[in-house]
Amino acid sequence: MQYRTLGRTGIKVSPYALGALNFASRMGNTEEESTRIVHRALDAGINLVDTSDAYGDSEEVLGRALRGRRDDVVLATKFGLGPDEHHRGASRRWITTAVEGSLRRLQTDHLDVYQLQRPDPETDIEEILSVLSDLVHAGKIRAFGTSMLPASDIVDAQWVSERRGLERLRTEQPPYSILNRGIEREVLPVAQRFGMGVLVWGPLGQGMLTGRVRRGQTTDVNRAKYFTSFTDQRRLDAVEALVDLAQEVGVSMPHLAMAFAVSHPGVTSALLGPRTTEQLDDLLAGVDTVLDDDVLDRIDQIVPPGTDVGVLDQAFVPASIAQVELRRRPVDGRSAA
């Protein structure tokens, strides 16, 4: 496996990374199966593993699975999505509490990458950068970043770091797949400009790019119950066109999707979320797949660069869009009729 540098951190990571959401017992996996997945991934050359303190007991399961192999892993976790208002966000108090909990559960003395899982508009960016800088200086984390931070906020954070002499955002973790290419417009160019590593999640489009979801049918019934995107006709139409393309060029849909995700020069790694070792083995079989310009041009015709087909269920919606009162001008002090 060919390793890449995570932005300008000097940290070498694999282009395929292992996401640990499915290791949580609430997701239905046994700890034994999750441990087998971790070991299989490490043996195959994957060295970046990503989890979160909001993923149930995923950190505990991962910590036990990595016993004796911690030095082989670039270990990333996230904070900010606690169970209530007293245990979430990015205030100094919560970050310092959260990091200690993650270190304990992961059975390690440091984290390689520590990430704010969702933007926190209620906390000043200077406070966030200040406490994370303190953690770097204390040796508890090597680098820090964000997930789903808008490009304008990334720029703002970089400027604050420069003005205040603070450590900088080193990574961003946005959603990215053939079906969701919106980050190509601003997020990826901005991340490249500031030398940030980008770890993308959802390269298989929440399962729509596995080949198991087709117009009028799906064998992934559990996902179809939870994701409204599975019934989005625009996404289903795009999938049908991609299935035809994959068959024409002789690659499986998952291999096409993963190869696309890591082909962008602004993307460092793409996160896999296998539930079984068989799923992991199937994805790893395509690690050497490279899409030539003709195939990439054909993908561009199906989903134009910088565009999203439909809405990704788990995507972050900023308050400026989600809150009606922030995007409608009052009429004579009252809401417009």
Q: CB of 31 within 8 A of CB of 61?
A: yes
Mode of pairing for the β-strands spanning 74-79 and 111-116? parallel
Residue type at position 55? Y
55 is catalytic: yes
Alpha-carbon Rg for the chain, nearest whole angstrom, is 20
**Which residues are CB-neighbours of 238 under 8 A, at least 6 positions away?**
178, 179, 302, 303, 309
Of 16, 55, 114, 176, which residue is the catalytic one? 55
Burial class, 255, CB count within 10 angstroms (exposed 0-12 / middle 13-18 / buried 19+): buried
Judge whether 255 and 282 are in contact, CB under 8 Å: no
Report how far apart the first and last C-alpha atoms of the chain are (Å, whole number).
59
Q: Which strand (E) or helix (H) includes residue 198? A: strand 197-200
Determine how many CB atoms are found less than 10 A away from the CB of residue 17: 24
- Asked if 7 contacts 196 with a C-beta cutoff of 8 angstroms, the reply is yes
| Euclidean distance between CA atoms 123 and 89, whole angstroms | 8
Rounded to 5°, the CA angle 243-298-184 comes to 100
Active-site amino acid positions: 55
